[in-house]
Amino acid sequence: MEAEAAGIVSSWLAQLGIFGLGLAVIGGFVWLWMRESRAVRADTETIIARKDREIVDLTKRLADSEAKERKTYDELMACRYPEMGGN
């Protein structure tokens, strides 16, 4: 009777150990997946921030270019048509 009980307890502990090992493996995969998804998210945020800075820089350059173009146009018109407020 005791041998049978010990066999049942031993079998139960073995099954519990296998179950725990399975949970550990699944937990490891979940941990790796979470770590990778955080890394991808950080990379994506870095790329978006860099693109935002590029857009701001290009917008500033475009505004400067338009201002220079407008000034050149105004100077040209002032030289061409002095009666319109030129020199």
* Mean pLDDT to the nearest integer, 28-37: 91
Q: What is the DSSP letter of 85?
A: T
Predicted local distance difference test score (pLDDT) of residue 76: 84
Give 50-56's long-range contacts (Cβ < 8 A, gap of 24+): none
* Percent share of the chain, pLDDT over 90: 41
Predicted local distance difference test score (pLDDT) of residue 85: 59
Band of the pLDDT at 50, cuts 50, 70, 90? very high
pLDDT in tens, 60-87: 999 999 999 888 888 888 888 877 755 5
Predicted local distance difference test score (pLDDT) of residue 1: 67
CA distance 5 to 43: 57
